[in-house]
């Protein structure tokens, strides 16, 4: 919510129906946005959403967590039982975001990522710089020999399938290949389904880790 809308303080002012209609006409992603427009019209027609509230991003995203219409259809909840899904209402918005994470397979109390210090002999093919897909994953015990500070990671199941990301490489001029580096787990990849950005997922997981001792 913090990343998407500055904790709900800026949810966008564009007329979402107009935005989606315009983007549907654009041939670059016409099929995707046409489908999103039709889904939204059906949600309005079935009175699940009040069309008067539909102001958000230029790309058709809506509410505190910036849900696209297909995400609203599949994961949003009328948590306060007022017969409308209002993602600018904290009750519906937080319940819908939690339901979305749960449906994606988020595992409570499971690992998200650890920052690591890599040896220079790690094969470069294991270093992911793209958020499209984490490739060349292996069991954690395979990577053990490449991680200098492995003993500082704490108790972790070494049979877990993990990947390694080096998000600054090829993005920040002069960034070192091996620094910073992170070992990422299934929960991290669930966040990537929400937003395909290595930094987005790192930010969300960092906040999650800082919350765990405060709740």
For every residue of 2-26, DSSP letters joined together read HHHHTTTT----EEHHHHHHHHHHS
pLDDT at residue 215 in the model: 54
Query: pLDDT by residue (tens digit) across 67-126?
Result: 999 999 999 999 999 999 999 999 999 999 999 999 999 998 889 999 999 999 999 999
pLDDT at residue 214 in the model: 61
pLDDT over 60 at 25, yes or no: yes
Rounded alpha-carbon distances, angstroms, from residue 171 to 30, 130, 177, 184: 29, 10, 11, 19
Query: pLDDT by residue (tens digit) across 152-173?
Result: 888 899 999 999 999 988 777 7
pLDDT over 90 at 212, yes or no: no
Task: Decide if 36 is catalytic.
Answer: no
Catalytic residue among 4, 151, 158, 176, which?
4
**Within 10 Å of residue 131's Cβ, how many Cβ atoms?**
18
Count of helices and strands (H, E) across the chain: 8, 7
Torsional sign, CA 144, 126, 162, 160: negative
Cβ atoms of 87 and 93 closer than 8 Å: yes
pLDDT at residue 93 in the model: 97
Q: How far apart are CA 28 and CA 41, in angstroms?
A: 22
């Amino acid at each position: 919510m913090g990343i998407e809308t500055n904790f709900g303080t800026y949810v966008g002012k564009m007329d979402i129906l107009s935005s989606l209609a315009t983007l549907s006409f654009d041939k670059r992603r016409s099929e995707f946005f046409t489908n999103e427009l039709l889904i939204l019209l059906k949600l309005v027609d079935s009175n699940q959403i009040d069309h008067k509230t539909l102001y958000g991003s230029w790309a058709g995203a809506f509410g505190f967590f910036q849900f696209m219409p297909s995400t609203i259809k599949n994961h949003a909840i009328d948590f306060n039982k007022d017969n409308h899904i209002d993602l600018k209402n904290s009750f519906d918005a937080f319940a819908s975001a939690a339901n979305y994470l749960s449906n994606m397979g988020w595992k409570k109390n499971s690992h998200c990522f650890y920052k690591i210090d890599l040896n220079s002999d790690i094969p470069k093919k294991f270093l992911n710089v793209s958020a499209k897909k984490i490739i060349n994953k292996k069991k954690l015990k395979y990577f053990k020999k490449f991680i200098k500070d492995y003993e500082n990671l704490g108790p972790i199941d070494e049979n877990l399938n993990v990947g390694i990301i080096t998000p600054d490489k090829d993005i920040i001029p002069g960034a070192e290949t091996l620094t910073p580096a992170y070992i990422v787990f299934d929960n991290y990849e669930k966040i990537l389904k929400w937003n395909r950005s290595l930094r987005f997922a790192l930010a969300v997981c960092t906040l999650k880790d800082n919350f765990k001792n405060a709740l």
